Structure 1
Amino acid sequence: MKLSKIFGLHAVQSALQYSPNKITQAWIDGQRQDQRLVRALDELEALGIRPEKTDRKRLDRFAEGGQHQGIVIEVELPGELSESALKDAVQNLDSPALFLVLDQVQDPHNLGACLRTADATGVHGVIVTKDNAAGITPTVCKVASGAAETVPVYQVTNLARTLRWLKDQGIWVFGAAGDTAQSAYRSDFTVPMALVVGAEGKGLRRLTQEACDMLVALPMRGSVESLNLSVATGVLLYEVLRQRMKG
C-alpha cells in the first residue's frame, strides 16, 4: 500500500468525491474556520475520520512548502497496473478501443493533466513506460483532480513491443509528431486506436515512431513550433471524441 499526503482544499474535495475510502488520516489548522474548510471537516467526520487539529507550521512541513489552505490528508494512492492487466482490459472492451500512450513523459503535471483529459474524453486507459517516466504521485493526483482514481494507468517495460501487441489486437496506433504532413483533422479516429504522445521537448523515440501505423500532426499557423504536451494531447483527444460523437 502506497500512502502519501495530499493538501489543499481542491485536492481534498476531489479525494472526498472520487476516492473517500482511500483516505486514512487528516490534519487541519485549528485556527481556521472558513466555510470550505468546515465543509471538508464535516465530510471527513461523516466517513468516520476525525481530523487532528494542529498548527500551521506542521501543515507547512507536511505540504513541503505547498499551499495547503489549512488541510492535509493522508491517502492510499492508486497504483499503476501491469502489462497483464492491460491485456485483460483490451480483450474485454465492449466499445472501440481508445488508449493514450505516453512515451517517457516525465513531468507529473503533464501526466496529471493528461489523465484529467483522458477521463473527460472516455479514454479506456493510459499506458506509460516503466523507465524515465512519471508514475502516480501526489502531484499527479492533485493535477488530475480525481482522474487518477478513474482512469487506469498501465506501466509497461518495452513500449515498442506493447504497441506491436496492440496492433495485433486490431488497434490502430497513431503517433503525434510535428514533422509529418498528415493532419490529425484528416485522419480517421473512429477506428479502435491508441494515441501515442512523446516526451517533453523530445517527442517520440525512433523505435516508438517505427511501431506506429501513422504519424499525425496538428496544424500550426503561428510563430511557435509546438504546443505544450498536455495541451496538444487534449486537442487530439477531443478531435477523437468529436469524430466518434459525429458517427
Structure 2
Amino acid sequence: MLPGMPAATEQPSPKDRFLTVYGRKPVLEALADPTLTVDKVLLAEGMRGAGPREIIQAARVKGVPVNRVSAHRVKVLAGNGKQDQGVLADVVAPRMRPLAAALRSKAAPKVILLLDGITTPANVGMILRTATAAGIGGIVVPRKGVAALDPLVVKASAGVAFRAPVLRCGTAAEAAEELRAAGYPLFALGSDGARGLFDGELPERAGYVLGGETSGVSVEVARLVADQVAIPMPGEVESLNVASAAAVLCFELVRRSLAG
C-alpha cells in the first residue's frame, strides 16, 4: 500500500461500479446494445401499457432482472424526478473503480485528469470521450461538485462514458490529497502559467486539474497544485471552454508520448 493511502476494507459503492440511466429511451438503448452489461432494471409500480411492456420484453431477451419498486424510489435513485419516466437501469461500467483502488494497483495510471467543479454535463461527457480516445489512464469524477454521470453525460460522450476509465472519490479536494500522497505532482490547466503546455517540461507521471466553468480550480485544490500549465493563445480570447482545453491537453500528451 502506498504511504499515506487509507486502507480499503469496504466494498466499492454501487456508484463506483455502475452508471445509472433513466427514462424509457435510454434504458431501451442500453438493453439493445450487445456490448453493454445491464445489471438490473427498476420499474415503478403501477406502470402499464406498451412502453413498460417493451422494456420488460427487452430485459427478458437480455436476461436482465426487472424489479418493481415505488415511483418515489425510482425518482430518488435517478436523482431526476422530471425525466426518469418511472424506469432506470444500472449499466456495468467495467473500467470504473475507486480512485484509491487505482492508486494501489501495480498498473496505476501514469496520467490522471481531475475534474474540479465542472457542472455542465456536456463538458463532462466530452472530456470523458476525448480523454478515453487519447488513452488517458484515469479521469477522476468526484461524486460531489461535478455533474452526475447521468444520461446527459452519456449522450455527450456518445456512449463512451460506459467504457471510460472513470475513477471515483468523494470530492476533488479529497482526490487531490490522495494523488499527492501517491506521489503525483498536480498541475492546473489554465491560460497562464510558468510551464507552457507545448514546450515546458512535464513529468511522465502526473495529475492534471481541470477547473470549473465559472470559478476555475477550487481553493481547496489550488493549494495542492504544484504549478499551472498554460495553453498559449495568441488570439484575443481569454480562455477556452474546459472540454476544448482538455482536448488540447490530452492530445499534446499523446504527441509527447509518440515523440518520446
TM-score by length of 1: 0.70
Which of 132, 151, 169 is 1:155 aligned to? 169
Alpha-carbon distance, 1:17 to partner: 5.0
Task: Encode CA deviations 1:22-44: one digit per residue, 9 max, x unaligned.
Answer: 57499xxx9xxxxxxxxxxxx98
Query: Is it true that 1:244 corresponds to 2:260 in the alignment?
Result: no
Letter in 2 for 1:124: G
Alpha-carbon distance, 1:228 to partner: 0.9
Q: Is the 8 A contact 1:189 1:240 kept in 2?
A: no
Query: Is it true that 1:222 corresponds to 2:260 in the alignment?
Result: no
What is the CA–CA distance in structure 2 between the aligned matches of 1:44 and 1:99, rounded to whole Å?
36
Say which is worse superposed, 230-239 or 146-155, in terms of deviation. 146-155
Structure 1: runs of 5 or more not aligned: 31-42, 50-63, 66-72
Partner of 1:87: 100
Letter in 1 for 2:29: V
Partner of 1:76: 90
* SS of structure 1 residue aligned to 2:258: helix
Query: Is it true that 1:233 corresponds to 2:252 in the alignment?
Result: no
Structure 2: runs of 5 or more not aligned: 1-13, 44-49, 51-57, 65-81
Which of 192, 207, 210 is 2:223 aligned to? 210
What is the CA–CA distance in structure 1 between the aligned matches of 2:63 and 2:120, rounded to whole Å?
35
Q: Structure 1 residues 103 and 22 mapped into 2: Cα distance closer, same or farther (>3 Å)?
A: same
What is the CA–CA distance in structure 1 between the aligned matches of 2:109 and 2:142, rounded to whole Å?
23
Q: How many residue pairs were aligned?
A: 220
Which of 47, 50, 70 is 2:62 aligned to? 47
What is the CA–CA distance in structure 1 between the aligned matches of 2:106 and 2:129, rounded to whole Å?
21
What is the CA–CA distance in structure 2 between the aligned matches of 1:14 and 1:240, rounded to whole Å?
36
Partner of 1:70: none
Q: Structure 1 residues 172 and 7 mapped into 2: Cα distance closer, same or farther (>3 Å)?
A: farther
Which of 131, 135, 150 is 2:148 aligned to? 135
Partner of 1:61: none
Alpha-carbon distance, 1:118 to partner: 1.8
Q: Is the 8 A contact 1:182 1:216 kept in 2?
A: yes
Alpha-carbon distance, 1:78 to partner: 5.5
TM-score by length of 2: 0.67
Q: Is the 8 A contact 1:112 1:143 kept in 2?
A: yes
Give the helix-richer structure, 1 or 2: 1
* SS of structure 2 residue aligned to 1:118: helix
Alpha-carbon distance, 1:95 to partner: 6.0
What is the CA–CA distance in structure 2 between the aligned matches of 1:109 and 1:117, rounded to whole Å?
12
What is the CA–CA distance in structure 2 between the aligned matches of 1:14 and 1:244, rounded to whole Å?
38
